[in-house]
Structure 1
Amino acid sequence: MILCPSCGFNNVNTESGCSCCGFLPEIVDGFRAWAPELARYNDGFPEDSFEGLARAEACSFWFRARNAIVIWALRKYFSAFQSLFEVGCGTGFVLSGIAEAFPDVRTVGSEIYTTGLKFAAKRLPSTELSQMDARKLPFENEFDVLAAFDVIEHIREDELVLQNFYRAIKPGGGCLITVPQHMWLWSPVDEAACHQRRYSAKELHSKMEAAGFRIVRSTSFVVLLLPLMVVSRLAARRSGRMGEGGGGLALNPVLDRTLEVIMRIEQQLIKWGIDFPIGGSRLVVAQKDL
């Protein structure tokens, strides 16, 4: 069901708009925009990062490893899903991996910046892409799975966003989220990325359960590489280095492949059922009960 983000009226026609208040999504840069005032400027993420990310993602062990664990989790916990909505799809790197792994699934992506959607459209010619504000998602009981990968840490009103996620999912459907973890890892890198916070498991679980979700699986990842991450973050604190776009993700190819192998070992342990208490990131699988 489509909701009006302005007045909340349901069964809104995306072509003719809301029959209650007259709201009509605009077309901005070729995309349907549900929050057009934020399509080209907002404070949630540096707009100029998309180009660097688009270049770096496929060449970075971290992005490839995150895709691998996401696709595994979808197969493991949502094997029969027929529709997936990714909030904050960025350049479409994760969503393109999902679309390739599940070609018969309806995939939908949203991003607050139309700049990101331009890159995503090149990777996802058959996916529905729209500009949206995660705080005002226009959906109710619409998708089997809602996904958000390193998104909600950018948003001050994360509890409101999680409520929106819950509403958008069909009864019996699920939610798949990744977030950066541990405030003791906070550094200028987080500031450059416009993070509002790094989560603890307790905080994230509490907020998701308050929104109505039941936690099915929760584990840290980037565990075996955590010592390297700590050293890197301490160096960033001392130097004040902020990092730019995807430039800091470029590594020597041999080193990049070595780190990917380490991440694969870690992911195998997760597949065997080990839930790690600490790590650079956290994966949460949650369900909206019938």
Structure 2
Amino acid sequence: MSRKQPKLVLREACIADVTSGWPTGRFFEAGAGTGHMASLFLDRGFTGVAHDLGASSRDLIRARFKGDEQRMAVVDDVDELSDASFDYLFAFEVLEHIEDDVAVLSRWASKLRPGGRLLVSVPAHQRKFGASDAMVGHVRRYERRQLCDVFERAGFRDIGMVNYGWPITELTRTVSNRLIGSPQQGFDGLSAEERSIRSAQAKPPVITRLLKVAGGNMFVPFTWIQRAFYRTDLGDGLVAWATRR
């Protein structure tokens, strides 16, 4: 089993902090990738439905939860879902891949009951946009006010947000951008949409090699350190939540 990237370790910990008091319920996860984040919520007693733009990703999620379809289903089209039928809407590392983020978030939000909660994560600060962003199909990184505006225009209120990752993701992002200086096998020649789908399924070879040296549990101490900086703008990512009007 490959090691987790440092940013994923810190993001998971931040999401766990933010949602620690949330009651269990039914979620819809958009852009679910391989189903990794969904599995964390299932372990806590939630149930859900997942969708991903890539057919290959949907196949991976179905295989992951085979035999557990009562708790975790997969749909091929968001329009298969009934409106106002979910307690939670999740989208982790998804909005930054979408040109018209307001329109797409509004479409997803229609599946959330009034008063239901939205939870997203996105990369932070456009000034940090680099080679690693372009490689995986990002079209932007977000500032706090920018993300608040997207939420408000999509019909959400009571917005909360924390900035996670400081200080370790500053180092890992810089290293990644320097290492990704040439086309990467499995990513070169792909469209932005294809890069987005591919990034959820596999890491670039150079990152995979790096994780053999450093990754996973060795970064757990930073999950505690980052808590002191949640209210700053120093970290590399944002975790944000809101309520549907």
TM-score for the superposition, normalised by structure 1? 0.68
In structure 2, C-alpha distance between the alignment counterparts of 1:153 and 1:188, rounded to whole Å: 15
Q: Quick one: which amino acid aligns to residue 59 of structure 2?
A: K
1:165 Cα offset (Å): 2.8
> Aligned with 2:20: secondary structure?
helix
Deviations 1:73-130 (A, max 9, x none): 2333xx224211100111011111111122xx32111111121122222322321111
Counterpart residue number, 1:132? 77
In structure 2, C-alpha distance between the alignment counterparts of 1:161 and 1:139, rounded to whole Å: 16
Q: Quick one: which amino acid aligns to residue 53 of structure 2?
A: I
In structure 1, C-alpha distance between the alignment counterparts of 2:44 and 2:81, rounded to whole Å: 27
Q: Quick one: which amino acid aligns to residue 73 of structure 1?
A: V
Segments of 5+ residues of structure 2 without an aligned counterpart are 188-201
Q: In the superposition, relative to structure 1, how do residues 75 and 220 fare at CA in structure 2: closer, same or farther (>3 Å)?
A: same
In structure 2, C-alpha distance between the alignment counterparts of 1:227 and 1:106, rounded to whole Å: 35
Contact 2:14–2:223 under 8 Å retained in 1: no
Corresponding residue to 2:48 among 88, 101, 107: 107
In structure 2, C-alpha distance between the alignment counterparts of 1:130 and 1:213, rounded to whole Å: 24
Counterpart residue number, 1:91? 34
In structure 2, C-alpha distance between the alignment counterparts of 1:188 and 1:256, rounded to whole Å: 23
Q: Quick one: which amino acid aligns to residue 264 of structure 1?
A: W
Corresponding residue to 1:150 among 93, 109, 120: 93
Corresponding residue to 2:157 among 207, 214, 219: 214
In structure 1, C-alpha distance between the alignment counterparts of 2:10 and 2:116, rounded to whole Å: 25
CA RMSD across the alignment: 2.5
Contact 1:188–1:240 under 8 Å retained in 2: no
Counterpart residue number, 1:261? 221
Counterpart residue number, 1:37? none
Higher Cα Rg: structure 1 or 2?
1
Deviations 1:30-74 (A, max 9, x none): xxxxxxxxxxxxxxxxxxxxxxxxx64x64343233233323323
1:159 Cα offset (Å): 0.8
Contact 2:26–2:88 under 8 Å retained in 1: yes
Q: What are the within-5 Å matches in structure 2 for residues 201-280 of structure 1?
A: 201-229=144-172, 231-232=174-175, 235-236=178-179, 239-240=181-182, 245-246=202-203, 247=205, 248-249=207-208, 250-252=210-212, 256-267=216-227, 269=228, 274-280=230-236
> Aligned with 1:263: secondary structure?
helix
Q: In the superposition, relative to structure 1, how do residues 138 and 84 fare at CA in structure 2: closer, same or farther (>3 Å)?
A: closer
In structure 2, C-alpha distance between the alignment counterparts of 1:96 and 1:114, rounded to whole Å: 19
Q: In the superposition, relative to structure 1, how do residues 278 and 132 fare at CA in structure 2: closer, same or farther (>3 Å)?
A: farther
Counterpart residue number, 2:143? 200
Q: In the superposition, relative to structure 1, how do residues 75 and 235 fare at CA in structure 2: closer, same or farther (>3 Å)?
A: same
Alignment of 1:62 onto 2:22: no
Count of residues in Structure 1 that have an aligned counterpart in Structure 2: 223
Q: In the superposition, relative to structure 1, how do residues 96 and 259 fare at CA in structure 2: closer, same or farther (>3 Å)?
A: same
Contact 1:85–1:108 under 8 Å retained in 2: yes
Segments of 5+ residues of structure 1 without an aligned counterpart are 1-54
In structure 2, C-alpha distance between the alignment counterparts of 1:219 and 1:235, rounded to whole Å: 27
Contact 2:9–2:219 under 8 Å retained in 1: no
Deviations 1:212-270 (A, max 9, x none): 21143201111211430453255257x35658541315524665433232133314x37
Counterpart residue number, 2:134? 191
In structure 1, C-alpha distance between the alignment counterparts of 2:84 and 2:110, rounded to whole Å: 6
Contact 2:7–2:169 under 8 Å retained in 1: no
Deviations 1:138-175 (A, max 9, x none): 54211100000000111111110121232221111100
Task: Give the structure, 1 or 2, with the largest relative contact order (CA under 8 Å, sep 6 or more).
Answer: 2
Percent pairwise identity: 21
Alignment of 1:120 onto 2:61: yes
